[in-house]
Structure 1
Amino acid sequence: MTRVKLCGVTNEADRDAAVDAGADAVGFIVDVPVDTPREVTVDRAAELVAGLPPFVSSVLVTMPKSVQAAMALQREVRADTIQVHGTLPPEYVGGLRSRARVTVVAAVGPDEAVEYADHADAVLVDSVDDAGGGGTGETHDWERTREVVDSVDVPVVLAGGLTPDNVADAVETVGPYAVDTASGVEREGGVKDHDAMEQFVARARAAGAGEAA
C-alpha cells in the first residue's frame, strides 16, 4: 500500500482534515531560508504536532544549517520524523540520524538520492530549486526516480508537483513507498483544499493497490 504524507500544514482545521482524509503523515515546515506561505513558527509547529492522534506520524520539515540546529528544533517541536532539505551533506545527515533518535528523511533531487540513501532512514525525491529546497510545485523525471527505487534499500518517497490529477500515474510509474504533496492540495498558499486532500489520498492508495480510482 502506498503511504501518503500531506505537507505544509499551517492550522488545526487543515491538520484535522488531513487526518480525516487518511494521511499517514502530516508535515510542518519550520525554519527554512526560502519564502513560503507554508512555514510556521516553532511554537506553532509544536502545538500542531501535539494535536495529532496516535498512529498518524508528524514530520518536522526544515533546512538546518547544522546537525545541532536540527536537533534543537526537534527538541522543541517533538515530531516523529525530521525531514531535511538540501542544506546538510550526506555524512551530516548520517550524524543527525545517529543522534536524533527519530526517523530522518533526506529530501533531495533524483541525482543525489542514491548517495543520501546510505545515511538516512528514507529519501524523499523532490524537484529542488537552486537553494536545495523542495516545494517548487514542479514535477521531475519519474523514470529517473523509478531507477532510484530500484537502486536503494531504504524507502523512497516521491514528491514534486503531485496533485490529485497526476498522483495515480506517478505511483504506477515510480512504485514509491510513499507520496508527498503540499501545494498540490491547496486552495491558496498555505491553506488546504480538504476535498483535494481526500482525492489525493484515495487515488494514491488505489493506484498503489492496483485498483481504479
Structure 2
Amino acid sequence: MPATALKICGLQSVEVLKSMVNLPVDYIGFVFAKSRRQVTPQQAALLIGVLQEWDQDKIPASAGVLVNPDMNELEELLNVAALDVIQLHGQESPQFCREVKERFPVSVFKVVSIEGSRSETDRISELDAYAGAIDGLLLDTYDPVYGGGSGKTFAWDLIPAYQRWASRHRLPLFVAGGLDADNVAQLIDQYAPDGVDVSSGVESEPGVKDIDKVNAFVERVKEK
C-alpha cells in the first residue's frame, strides 16, 4: 500500500515552518479565503521561500486554499506566490476548474464539503462533470461560515462512495475535517485515503500551529 500523503494546512509562521524542515510532509497549505488562518499573497511568497531551504528532494508542494475566486484574483495571487496546487472550497464549476488548469501551471484540488442535508448519491453524480477538470478530490466537514476548516469530523462511512468515484477517475482522495493525532490512525486503518489534511488538529489555539502536535500527527500518519 502506498504511503498516505500528508498535508498540513493554514501555515502562517516562518518559525513554525522552519521547525518542520526535517518532517516528511507532502503538502503545505496556505489559506487565502476568509479565515483566522488567512495570509496575503506576499506572506505566502515568504513562506514558500522558506520551503526552498528544505532538502531539494523533500520540498513539500504548496497549496493555496480559496473559496469562489475569479480568474483575476488567481492571476494576481500566482504572480506573487508560486503555488503548486489551487484548492477550491466553494461552488466552482467544472468549467472553472478546467480553465484554471489550462491557464496556470498548477494542479487543481476540488473540495466537497460534507453536510447531512443532501443525498450523497446526488452529490457523487454531480462530480462526474469534474472528471478531467481536477487533479484531486478532498472531503471536508461543511462549515456554514468558512465552508471548511471547522475542526469537526464528518460521518466517515460516507468515504467509500467518494473513494470509488475517485478511483474510477484515477484521482487521489484526501480527507480533512477534525483530524488530529488521536484519530488519524483510525481513519487510515479503516478507510486508507490517499491523503490526509490537518489544520486545527495541530494547533495549541485557533490559528497557532503547535510543533509538538505537528510532530505527533506526522508520526501517526507516516508510521502507518
The TM-score bracket by the shorter chain reads: 0.7 to 0.9
Change in CA separation of 1:195 and 1:45 when aligned onto 2, cut-off 3 Å? same
Identity percentage over the alignment?
31
8 Å contact kept, 1:107–1:126: yes
Structure 1 residue 184 displacement after superposition: 0.4
Match of 2:152, as an amino acid? Answer: E
Gap runs ≥5 in structure 2: 115-119
Change in CA separation of 1:177 and 1:87 when aligned onto 2, cut-off 3 Å? same
Q: Give distance in 1, aligned partners of 2:130 and 2:212.
A: 34
Q: Give distance in 2, aligned partners of 1:138 and 1:38.
A: 16
1:197 aligns with 2:214: yes
Structure 1 residue 140 displacement after superposition: 0.8
Give a deviation string over 1:75-96, Cα, whole Å, max 9, x none.
2111111111114122211211
Structure 1 residue 182 displacement after superposition: 0.4
Structure 1 residue 123 displacement after superposition: 0.9
Give a deviation string over 1:24-45, Cα, whole Å, max 9, x none.
1111111x1x3x2211111111
Match of 1:66, as an amino acid? Answer: D
Q: Secondary structure at the match of 2:141?
A: coil
1:19 match? 21
Structure 1 residue 125 displacement after superposition: 0.8
Structure 1 residue 68 displacement after superposition: 3.2
Match of 1:141 among 152, 155, 168: 155
Give a deviation string over 1:6-27, Cα, whole Å, max 9, x none.
1101011111233333211111
1:183 aligns with 2:185: no
Q: Give distance in 2, aligned partners of 1:18 and 1:117.
A: 34
1:211 match? none
Equivalenced residue count is: 204
8 Å contact kept, 1:117–1:123: no
8 Å contact kept, 2:151–2:178: yes
Q: Which moved more, 1:76-85 or 1:59-68?
A: 59-68
Match of 2:157, as an amino acid? Answer: E
1:91 aligns with 2:95: yes
2:31 match? 29
Q: Secondary structure at the match of 1:5?
A: strand
1:173 match? 190
Structure 1 residue 131 displacement after superposition: 5.5
Q: Give distance in 1, aligned partners of 2:62 and 2:129.
A: 22
Aligned-CA RMSD value:
1.9
2:7 match? 5
8 Å contact kept, 1:29–1:62: yes
Q: Give distance in 2, aligned partners of 1:131 and 1:92.
A: 23
Change in CA separation of 1:68 and 1:137 when aligned onto 2, cut-off 3 Å? same
Q: Give distance in 2, aligned partners of 1:105 and 1:177.
A: 13
8 Å contact kept, 1:146–1:173: no
